[in-house]
Structure 1
Amino acid sequence: MSVARPSTAVAGLSAAGQPTTRGSTENGQAAESRPEYADVRAVPQFKEKTGPIVLANTFVVPKERTEAFLALFRRQAEFMKAQPGFVSLQMHKGTADSQLLMNVAVWESTEALATAFGSPEFQRMAAEFSDDIVSYPHIFEQINV
Protein backbone atom coordinates (compact mmCIF):
# COMPACT_ATOMS: atom_id res chain seq x y z
CA MET A 1 0.00 0.00 0.00
CA SER A 2 1.37 3.36 -0.96
CA VAL A 3 0.20 6.38 1.01
CA ALA A 4 1.44 9.90 0.33
CA ARG A 5 3.15 11.46 3.33
CA PRO A 6 0.43 13.56 4.96
CA SER A 7 0.88 17.05 6.28
CA THR A 8 -2.46 16.90 8.07
CA ALA A 9 -4.15 13.60 8.77
CA VAL A 10 -6.43 11.47 10.84
CA ALA A 11 -5.78 7.77 10.62
CA GLY A 12 -7.69 4.54 10.85
CA LEU A 13 -7.34 0.99 9.57
CA SER A 14 -7.46 -0.10 5.94
CA ALA A 15 -9.32 -3.22 4.93
CA ALA A 16 -5.99 -5.05 5.36
CA GLY A 17 -5.63 -3.74 8.92
CA GLN A 18 -2.92 -1.25 7.94
CA PRO A 19 -2.92 2.40 9.06
CA THR A 20 -4.41 4.83 6.57
CA THR A 21 -4.86 8.58 6.64
CA ARG A 22 -7.22 11.22 5.38
CA GLY A 23 -6.34 14.82 4.86
CA SER A 24 -4.05 16.63 2.47
CA THR A 25 -0.56 15.70 1.38
CA GLU A 26 2.36 18.11 1.27
CA ASN A 27 1.62 18.87 -2.41
CA GLY A 28 -2.10 19.46 -1.74
CA GLN A 29 -3.38 16.17 -3.16
CA ALA A 30 -5.90 14.14 -1.24
CA ALA A 31 -4.34 11.45 0.90
CA GLU A 32 -5.83 7.97 1.04
CA SER A 33 -9.10 7.97 2.92
CA ARG A 34 -9.80 5.77 5.91
CA PRO A 35 -12.93 3.82 6.64
CA GLU A 36 -15.07 5.51 9.27
CA TYR A 37 -14.99 3.72 12.60
CA ALA A 38 -18.78 3.67 12.38
CA ASP A 39 -18.52 1.13 9.56
CA VAL A 40 -16.59 -1.37 11.62
CA ARG A 41 -18.04 -4.23 9.56
CA ALA A 42 -15.54 -3.28 6.84
CA VAL A 43 -12.48 -3.81 9.04
CA PRO A 44 -11.32 -7.47 9.04
CA GLN A 45 -9.97 -7.21 12.58
CA PHE A 46 -13.46 -6.34 13.82
CA LYS A 47 -14.99 -9.21 11.82
CA GLU A 48 -12.87 -11.84 13.56
CA LYS A 49 -14.73 -12.97 16.64
CA THR A 50 -12.10 -13.39 19.31
CA GLY A 51 -11.31 -12.25 22.79
CA PRO A 52 -10.02 -11.07 25.02
CA ILE A 53 -8.27 -8.56 22.76
CA VAL A 54 -5.88 -5.64 23.15
CA LEU A 55 -6.24 -2.43 21.17
CA ALA A 56 -2.85 -0.72 20.86
CA ASN A 57 -3.24 2.74 19.34
CA THR A 58 -0.17 4.92 18.80
CA PHE A 59 -0.81 8.64 18.28
CA VAL A 60 1.54 11.22 16.79
CA VAL A 61 0.61 14.44 18.56
CA PRO A 62 2.24 17.81 17.84
CA LYS A 63 3.76 19.13 21.07
CA GLU A 64 1.49 22.21 21.15
CA ARG A 65 -1.61 19.98 20.93
CA THR A 66 -0.75 17.47 23.67
CA GLU A 67 -2.90 19.00 26.42
CA ALA A 68 -5.95 19.42 24.15
CA PHE A 69 -5.49 15.88 22.83
CA LEU A 70 -5.32 14.43 26.34
CA ALA A 71 -8.42 16.35 27.45
CA LEU A 72 -10.44 14.91 24.56
CA PHE A 73 -8.92 11.47 25.03
CA ARG A 74 -9.96 11.51 28.71
CA ARG A 75 -13.56 12.16 27.60
CA GLN A 76 -13.34 9.24 25.17
CA ALA A 77 -11.81 7.02 27.86
CA GLU A 78 -14.66 7.77 30.29
CA PHE A 79 -17.15 6.84 27.59
CA MET A 80 -15.31 3.60 26.74
CA LYS A 81 -14.97 2.59 30.40
CA ALA A 82 -18.76 2.57 30.66
CA GLN A 83 -19.23 0.29 27.62
CA PRO A 84 -20.06 -3.42 27.92
CA GLY A 85 -16.97 -5.57 27.44
CA PHE A 86 -14.45 -2.93 28.47
CA VAL A 87 -11.70 -4.31 30.75
CA SER A 88 -8.92 -1.74 31.15
CA LEU A 89 -7.09 1.18 29.56
CA GLN A 90 -3.68 2.80 29.97
CA MET A 91 -2.11 5.74 28.15
CA HIS A 92 1.67 5.92 27.73
CA LYS A 93 3.85 8.85 26.62
CA GLY A 94 7.13 8.44 24.76
CA THR A 95 10.23 9.48 26.65
CA ALA A 96 12.84 12.09 25.69
CA ASP A 97 10.39 14.75 24.49
CA SER A 98 8.68 12.32 22.10
CA GLN A 99 5.48 13.31 20.29
CA LEU A 100 4.16 9.73 20.57
CA LEU A 101 1.41 8.62 22.91
CA MET A 102 0.12 5.06 23.04
CA ASN A 103 -3.19 3.82 24.34
CA VAL A 104 -3.37 0.15 25.36
CA ALA A 105 -6.93 -1.01 26.01
CA VAL A 106 -8.16 -4.50 26.87
CA TRP A 107 -11.63 -5.63 25.77
CA GLU A 108 -13.52 -8.87 26.34
CA SER A 109 -14.09 -9.29 22.59
CA THR A 110 -13.79 -7.72 19.16
CA GLU A 111 -17.58 -7.41 19.09
CA ALA A 112 -17.60 -5.30 22.26
CA LEU A 113 -14.89 -2.99 20.90
CA ALA A 114 -16.58 -2.72 17.49
CA THR A 115 -19.89 -1.80 19.13
CA ALA A 116 -18.24 0.90 21.25
CA PHE A 117 -16.30 2.33 18.25
CA GLY A 118 -19.43 2.34 16.12
CA SER A 119 -21.59 4.24 18.60
CA PRO A 120 -22.71 7.71 17.51
CA GLU A 121 -21.41 9.26 20.75
CA PHE A 122 -17.89 7.89 20.19
CA GLN A 123 -18.00 8.97 16.54
CA ARG A 124 -18.86 12.54 17.57
CA MET A 125 -15.90 12.64 19.96
CA ALA A 126 -13.53 11.07 17.40
CA ALA A 127 -14.49 13.78 14.89
CA GLU A 128 -13.28 16.45 17.35
CA PHE A 129 -9.61 15.46 17.01
CA SER A 130 -7.47 17.96 15.14
CA ASP A 131 -6.53 16.94 11.59
CA ASP A 132 -2.83 16.96 12.49
CA ILE A 133 -3.23 14.10 14.98
CA VAL A 134 -2.26 10.79 13.37
CA SER A 135 -3.16 7.45 14.93
CA TYR A 136 -2.13 3.89 14.18
CA PRO A 137 -4.62 1.49 15.82
CA HIS A 138 -4.26 -2.28 15.73
CA ILE A 139 -6.02 -5.15 17.50
CA PHE A 140 -4.00 -7.95 19.09
CA GLU A 141 -4.75 -11.19 20.92
CA GLN A 142 -2.51 -12.83 23.46
CA ILE A 143 -0.45 -15.83 22.39
CA ASN A 144 1.54 -18.28 24.49
CA VAL A 145 5.34 -18.13 24.21
Structure 2
Amino acid sequence: MRALGRAWARLRDTISTTNVDETWSLEWSRRIETRWSYRGELIDCFRFDDGYVTTVQYKRQGVRWQLTPGQVPLASALAMAKLYLEHRLTPQTDRDGRPFIGLTDHGPVQVFEEIPPEPVEYVYLDGIRTLEEFPEFITVDENLQSVFERMVPAQSGTPR
Protein backbone atom coordinates (compact mmCIF):
# COMPACT_ATOMS: atom_id res chain seq x y z
CA MET A 1 0.00 0.00 0.00
CA ARG A 2 2.85 2.39 0.79
CA ALA A 3 4.45 1.63 -2.59
CA LEU A 4 1.19 2.57 -4.28
CA GLY A 5 1.06 5.79 -2.24
CA ARG A 6 4.63 6.69 -3.26
CA ALA A 7 3.87 5.94 -6.92
CA TRP A 8 0.76 8.13 -6.74
CA ALA A 9 2.79 10.96 -5.15
CA ARG A 10 5.42 10.74 -7.94
CA LEU A 11 2.71 10.76 -10.62
CA ARG A 12 0.99 13.73 -8.98
CA ASP A 13 4.30 15.62 -8.76
CA THR A 14 4.99 14.93 -12.44
CA ILE A 15 1.54 16.11 -13.45
CA SER A 16 1.69 19.19 -11.23
CA THR A 17 5.01 20.31 -12.74
CA THR A 18 3.44 20.29 -16.21
CA ASN A 19 1.93 23.69 -16.95
CA VAL A 20 -1.41 22.58 -18.36
CA ASP A 21 -2.64 26.17 -18.68
CA GLU A 22 -0.23 26.84 -21.57
CA THR A 23 -2.01 24.24 -23.70
CA TRP A 24 -5.45 25.80 -23.27
CA SER A 25 -6.56 28.72 -25.39
CA LEU A 26 -9.14 31.34 -24.63
CA GLU A 27 -11.56 30.91 -27.53
CA TRP A 28 -13.75 33.87 -26.70
CA SER A 29 -14.99 35.95 -23.84
CA ARG A 30 -18.21 37.92 -23.85
CA ARG A 31 -20.21 39.81 -21.27
CA ILE A 32 -22.15 36.72 -20.11
CA GLU A 33 -19.94 33.78 -21.18
CA THR A 34 -16.34 32.69 -21.72
CA ARG A 35 -14.89 29.59 -23.35
CA TRP A 36 -11.46 27.92 -23.14
CA SER A 37 -10.57 24.96 -25.39
CA TYR A 38 -7.94 22.28 -25.84
CA ARG A 39 -8.07 19.21 -28.09
CA GLY A 40 -11.84 18.84 -28.15
CA GLU A 41 -12.26 19.70 -24.48
CA LEU A 42 -14.20 22.87 -23.64
CA ILE A 43 -14.47 24.86 -20.42
CA ASP A 44 -17.43 27.23 -20.37
CA CYS A 45 -18.22 29.82 -17.72
CA PHE A 46 -21.56 31.54 -18.18
CA ARG A 47 -24.20 33.59 -16.43
CA PHE A 48 -27.14 31.54 -15.20
CA ASP A 49 -30.00 33.25 -13.35
CA ASP A 50 -28.44 35.12 -10.40
CA GLY A 51 -25.01 33.51 -10.57
CA TYR A 52 -22.48 31.76 -12.79
CA VAL A 53 -21.91 28.15 -13.76
CA THR A 54 -18.75 26.53 -15.10
CA THR A 55 -18.86 23.33 -17.15
CA VAL A 56 -16.42 20.95 -18.83
CA GLN A 57 -17.36 19.29 -22.11
CA TYR A 58 -15.69 16.54 -24.13
CA LYS A 59 -16.99 17.25 -27.63
CA ARG A 60 -16.14 13.85 -29.13
CA GLN A 61 -17.93 11.86 -26.40
CA GLY A 62 -20.77 14.35 -26.05
CA VAL A 63 -20.22 14.47 -22.28
CA ARG A 64 -20.62 17.62 -20.16
CA TRP A 65 -20.48 18.11 -16.39
CA GLN A 66 -20.52 21.06 -14.00
CA LEU A 67 -17.47 22.16 -12.09
CA THR A 68 -19.70 24.39 -9.97
CA PRO A 69 -22.37 22.85 -7.72
CA GLY A 70 -24.97 25.23 -9.11
CA GLN A 71 -24.85 29.00 -9.29
CA VAL A 72 -21.91 30.72 -7.62
CA PRO A 73 -20.40 34.24 -7.72
CA LEU A 74 -18.42 35.05 -10.88
CA ALA A 75 -15.02 34.94 -9.14
CA SER A 76 -15.84 31.51 -7.66
CA ALA A 77 -16.90 30.18 -11.09
CA LEU A 78 -13.67 31.48 -12.64
CA ALA A 79 -11.61 30.02 -9.78
CA MET A 80 -13.10 26.58 -10.46
CA ALA A 81 -12.43 27.00 -14.19
CA LYS A 82 -8.79 27.95 -13.53
CA LEU A 83 -8.41 25.08 -11.04
CA TYR A 84 -9.35 22.70 -13.84
CA LEU A 85 -7.29 24.54 -16.47
CA GLU A 86 -4.14 24.64 -14.35
CA HIS A 87 -4.35 21.48 -12.25
CA ARG A 88 -6.94 19.30 -14.06
CA LEU A 89 -8.87 19.00 -10.79
CA THR A 90 -12.61 19.12 -10.28
CA PRO A 91 -13.77 20.58 -6.97
CA GLN A 92 -15.39 18.16 -4.58
CA THR A 93 -18.62 18.95 -2.73
CA ASP A 94 -19.13 18.59 1.01
CA ARG A 95 -22.37 17.39 2.61
CA ASP A 96 -23.69 20.98 2.63
CA GLY A 97 -23.15 21.31 -1.13
CA ARG A 98 -20.09 23.57 -0.83
CA PRO A 99 -17.26 23.05 -3.35
CA PHE A 100 -13.76 22.53 -1.93
CA ILE A 101 -10.34 21.22 -2.82
CA GLY A 102 -7.64 19.75 -0.62
CA LEU A 103 -4.34 21.59 -0.33
CA THR A 104 -1.10 19.80 0.57
CA ASP A 105 2.52 20.95 0.58
CA HIS A 106 2.62 19.76 -3.05
CA GLY A 107 -0.40 21.80 -4.15
CA PRO A 108 -4.11 21.17 -4.65
CA VAL A 109 -5.45 17.61 -4.56
CA GLN A 110 -8.70 15.73 -4.37
CA VAL A 111 -9.20 13.89 -1.09
CA PHE A 112 -10.89 10.52 -1.32
CA GLU A 113 -10.09 9.12 2.12
CA GLU A 114 -11.49 10.13 5.48
CA ILE A 115 -7.94 10.21 6.82
CA PRO A 116 -5.68 11.40 3.96
CA PRO A 117 -2.16 9.92 3.64
CA GLU A 118 -0.62 13.38 4.13
CA PRO A 119 -1.72 16.56 5.93
CA VAL A 120 -4.33 18.46 3.98
CA GLU A 121 -6.04 21.82 4.38
CA TYR A 122 -9.50 22.24 2.87
CA VAL A 123 -10.01 25.32 0.71
CA TYR A 124 -13.60 26.28 -0.10
CA LEU A 125 -14.20 27.87 -3.47
CA ASP A 126 -17.79 29.11 -3.26
CA GLY A 127 -17.23 32.34 -1.31
CA ILE A 128 -14.72 33.98 -3.63
CA ARG A 129 -16.01 37.37 -4.73
CA THR A 130 -12.90 39.06 -6.20
CA LEU A 131 -9.74 37.95 -7.98
CA GLU A 132 -7.72 39.12 -4.97
CA GLU A 133 -9.41 36.37 -2.93
CA PHE A 134 -8.14 33.56 -5.21
CA PRO A 135 -6.11 30.89 -3.40
CA GLU A 136 -2.36 31.08 -4.03
CA PHE A 137 -2.36 27.89 -6.13
CA ILE A 138 -4.57 29.51 -8.82
CA THR A 139 -2.88 31.98 -11.15
CA VAL A 140 -4.49 35.34 -11.78
CA ASP A 141 -3.01 36.53 -15.06
CA GLU A 142 -3.93 39.32 -17.50
CA ASN A 143 -6.28 37.04 -19.46
CA LEU A 144 -8.24 36.12 -16.34
CA GLN A 145 -8.32 39.76 -15.22
CA SER A 146 -9.71 40.72 -18.64
CA VAL A 147 -12.34 37.94 -18.53
CA PHE A 148 -13.43 38.97 -15.04
CA GLU A 149 -13.71 42.67 -15.96
CA ARG A 150 -15.72 41.80 -19.08
CA MET A 151 -18.11 39.43 -17.28
CA VAL A 152 -18.63 41.19 -13.95
CA PRO A 153 -22.19 42.50 -13.73
CA ALA A 154 -22.56 46.27 -13.93
CA GLN A 155 -23.44 47.79 -10.59
CA SER A 156 -26.78 49.51 -10.55
CA GLY A 157 -26.58 53.16 -9.58
CA THR A 158 -30.16 53.33 -8.33
CA PRO A 159 -30.97 52.57 -4.68
CA ARG A 160 -33.46 49.80 -3.99
The TM-score, its normalising length taken from structure 2, stands at 0.22
The TM-score, its normalising length taken from structure 1, stands at 0.23
- The structure having more radius of gyration, on CA atoms, is 2
